[in-house]
Amino acid sequence: MAARAGLLRAVRLLGWAAIVGGVYLLNARTPGELRLGILFVIPVLLAAWHDGMHWGIAFALATSLLRFSVGIDQMPATTLLDYRVVNELAYLVVVGVAIAGLSQLRHTHSQLEQLAIQDPLTNVLNARAFSHELAQELSRNRRYGRPLALIYLDLDDFKSVNDAHGHATGDAVLRLVADAMRGAVRQADVVGRLGGDESGVLMPETDGDVAHAAANRLVTGIRTVFRGTPSVTASIGVVAVSGTEAGTDELLRKADQAMYAAKRAGKDRVVQVAM
């Protein structure tokens, strides 16, 4: 994944450089009165938006040098060199302000994107984003027949924790449970909060035995973390599929049913079903 991202960035940067080259040729072959050097702003801002402020600054400096070299060639004999230098400093100031504003906008945009997919309390995926990831994995599962597992977790008697210790303690419990879930599964697995004290783990390329072992680690880990007051345990349902035609809602419903089976069997345990 990192190698692919690096390759995409390299392709983008080559694209911005190609635009710079095109603007340079256009600027060099047209009369100075047209002042087409302003078009250098386009690749500078594209680099700043897609690849960060440092790349925007690098392109700004490079295009300023190109503008300066073209300006020298096109400069009338009566024009002082100092004027050209001042023009390029003014260009850098304007472009610098634009890069700073664009970088702030990009940061705000990234924060809004994160808020759209992340649960603000636990910092795992929210229910909508988790369902989207599940739908994508189910599509791959149908296409290639690869194994897929879903863990559905519900805390036992969580309402009594809120009633006895307050909602601040309940929120702290939910954050600790999310941390325990991240610690019990692999980095490639997807953790989400499905609502209230219900959470899920999507485990791509995973058969039932591996998912069941992860769920048991999670049950044990939660019981261990919360040994004392408040005492917290979890009931977990596990669904393992391979090449299923089931949709997202059906799979979540099946996992939810397995979780309730764990509660009926005495809570603080794992129940697994297959589809």
Range 93-110 average pLDDT: 89
- Among 117, 148, 175, the domain-final residue is 117
* End position of a domain, from candidates 68, 96, 117: 117
Say what percent of the chain tops pLDDT 90.
54
User: Would 146 be classed as within a structural domain?
Assistant: yes
pLDDT attached to residue 192: 95
Decide if pLDDT at 270 tops 90: yes
Domain shared by 45 and 168, yes or no: no
Tell whether omega for the bond before 120 is within 30 degrees of 0, i.e. cis: no
Number of domains in the chain: 2
Is 105 in the same domain as 146? Answer: no
Domain for residue 50, yes or no?
yes
pLDDT tens figures, 163-186: 888 989 999 999 999 998 988 888
CB atoms within 10 A of CB 237: 26
For residue 81, what pLDDT is reported? 61
pLDDT level of residue 79 (50, 70, 90 thresholds)? low
Residue 141: band (very low, low, confident or very high) from pLDDT cuts 50, 70, 90:
confident
Find the CATH number of the domain harbouring 213: 3.30.70.270
- Pair 212, 82 in one domain: no
- Looking at the structure, do residues 141 and 112 belong to the same domain, yes or no? no
Of residues 114 and 40, more confidently modeled: 40
Q: Do residues 134 and 255 both lie within one domain?
A: yes
Q: Give the range of the structural domain holding residue 210, as residue numbers without chain letter.
A: 127-274
Residue the block writes with tokens 């419903």: 253
Whether residue 62 is predicted with pLDDT greater than 90 in this model: the reply is yes
Chain segment 208-255, per-residue pLDDT in tens:
899 999 999 999 989 888 877 778 999 999 999 887 777 899 999 999
* Residue that is last in its domain, among 117, 150, 175: 117
- The answer on 103 and 145 residing in a single domain is no
pLDDT at 198: 95
The pLDDT confidence band at residue 129, using thresholds 50, 70 and 90, is very high
Distance CA 218, CA 174 (A): 14
In a domain, 88, yes or no: yes
216, 250 in Cβ contact below 8 A? Answer: no
Task: Looking at the structure, tell me whether residues 62 and 173 fall in a common domain.
Answer: no
Q: What pLDDT, on the 0 to 100 scale, is given for residue 144?
A: 81
Q: Is residue 122 in a domain?
A: no
* Predicted local confidence at residue 58, as pLDDT: 94
111 and 132, same domain (yes or no): no
The answer on pLDDT for 75 being more than 60 is no
pTM as predicted: 0.68
- DSSP 8-state symbol, 125: B
Choose the weakest-confidence range: 13-22, 96-105, 183-192, 222-231: 222-231
User: Residue 35: inside a domain, yes or no?
Assistant: yes
Q: Which residue has the higher pLDDT, 59 or 2?
A: 59
Helix (H) or strand (E) holding 198: strand 198-204
pLDDT in tens, 103-122: 888 888 887 887 788 999 99
User: Is the same domain home to 9 and 102?
Assistant: yes
How do the residues of the chain divide into helix, strand and coil, expressed in percent and rounded to 5? 65, 15, 20
Co-location of 111 and 223 in the same domain: no
Residues across the chain: 275
